[in-house]
Amino acid sequence: MAVLAAVLWTANPASGAGAFDYTACDGGQISTTIWNDGHGDIFSLNKPAGIDRCEAAGAAGRTWSNNSTYWWGWYFDTNSDNAQTVFQWKSWGTGDQQQQNYPVLMKVEGGRLKVWYVAPGETWQSVGTTAWTAGSWHKLELGITTRSDNTGSFEVWMDGTKVVGKTGVRTWDDMGNNPRWGTYGTGINGVNSHVWIDDLKLGQSRADVDQGRPCFRSGLRGSPCAVMITAWGEGTLLRISGPHWSQCCRSRCGAGRGWGGGG
């Protein structure tokens, strides 16, 4: 019997900004909306022209520590292909209190998702990039193993495909770090940047946060592998659903996790 995912925290859009530790969106708006697209309630983070950022940070009731592994999964959409910084593993403190302002950082820029490792000394290293389509949901998964020496690591997946696997890096700053999601950039101060987040959750492995909407329907959530067995059993379903189904479910249930465990 396979072990079901251990989700440690979820950001419920019904809680609004209260799902997070704090927000940085003065002049903008963090709210809950619904598009009737199957996602139910979703977070809306709207940065109007005239301010640099609209971000939500941390997880209500949770702290983060060195020598730990965290995985976050979330659906993300942007109104433009230039939302700039959309995720920061942001260090606490300012100036000299920090050695790394944001060890792991993700941007949507020029129609691409771009991932950086930012080493001490503000040394930016591009570690992965992939095409980004504004106006569509993308499933993002980020895992960070925190180390204040150079033995940390992180991974980024988008829509079931690994974009980044980086090892031998420093992922925990002197005063600690905190996740931030949203849209930020001085270069986009003059324009509206609007982003949306759904199904944001925290776990200890990728499997914990790799459960979401495209692969299965409501009522079958608890056991995605069982759904895949059903899909294989009914070939038409798989054909109708197309390669996204099979790719998504293979990444979720294949690769050594076995088909026979019933989830």
Tokens of 161: 């495909």
User: Interacting stretch for Ca ion, rule CB under 5 A, among 37-45, 60-68, 150-158, 176-184?
Assistant: 37-45
Please give the sequence-ordered ranges of beta strands (E in DSSP) within the chain, or none if there are none.
7-10, 22-24, 29-34, 41-47, 53-57, 69-78, 84-91, 104-109, 112-119, 123-131, 138-145, 152-158, 161-169, 177-184, 193-203
- Residues in binding contact with Ca ion, number by CB under 5 A: 4
The CA–CA distances, whole Å, from 228 to 216, 234, 258 equal 8, 10, 11
Of 78-86, 127-135, 193-201, 229-237, the window that binds Ca ion (rule: CB under 5 A) is 193-201
CA distance between the termini of the chain: 7
- Residue type at position 64: W
Q: How far is CA 168 from the centre of its chain?
A: 22
CA torsion sign, 64 to 130 to 215 to 253?
A: negative
Nearer to Ca ion, 33 or 67 (CB): 33
* Cβ distance to Ca ion smaller for residue 63 or 218: 218
Tell me whether residue 43 or residue 184 sits nearer to Ca ion (CB atom): 43
Tokens of 166: 């980086």
Nearer of residues 40 and 176 to Ca ion, judged by Cβ: 40
Of 17, 19, 25, 39, the residue at the interface with Ca ion (CB under 5 A) is 39
Q: Should residue 109 be labelled a site residue for Ca ion when binding is judged by CB under 5 A?
A: no
- What does the CA dihedral 53, 204, 156, 18 come to, rounded to 10 degrees? -20
Helices 243-253, 224-233: crossing angle, 10 deg rounding: 140
Q: Which is nearer to Ca ion, 164 or 202 (CB)?
A: 202
Q: Is 198 an interacting residue with respect to Ca ion (CB under 5 A)? A: yes
Smallest distance, Å, CB 210 to Ca ion? 16
- Tell me: does residue 40 bind Ca ion (CB under 5 A): yes
User: Which residue stretch of 32-40, 80-88, 122-130, 189-197 sits at the interface with Ca ion (rule: CB under 5 A)?
Assistant: 32-40
Considering the complex, state which of residue 155 and residue 159 has its C-beta at the smaller distance from Ca ion. 159
Query: Residue 200 or residue 249: which is nearer to Ca ion going by CB?
Result: 200
- Least gap, CB of 123 to Ca ion (angstroms): 38
At its nearest, how many Å lie between Ca ion and the CB of residue 9? 15
Q: Return the bridge partners of 181, or none.
A: 56, 87
> Which range, of 39-47, 76-84, 132-140, 166-174, touches Ca ion by CB under 5 A?
39-47
What residue number has its CB nearest to Ca ion?
40
Contacting residues toward Ca ion, per CB under 5 A: 39-41, 198
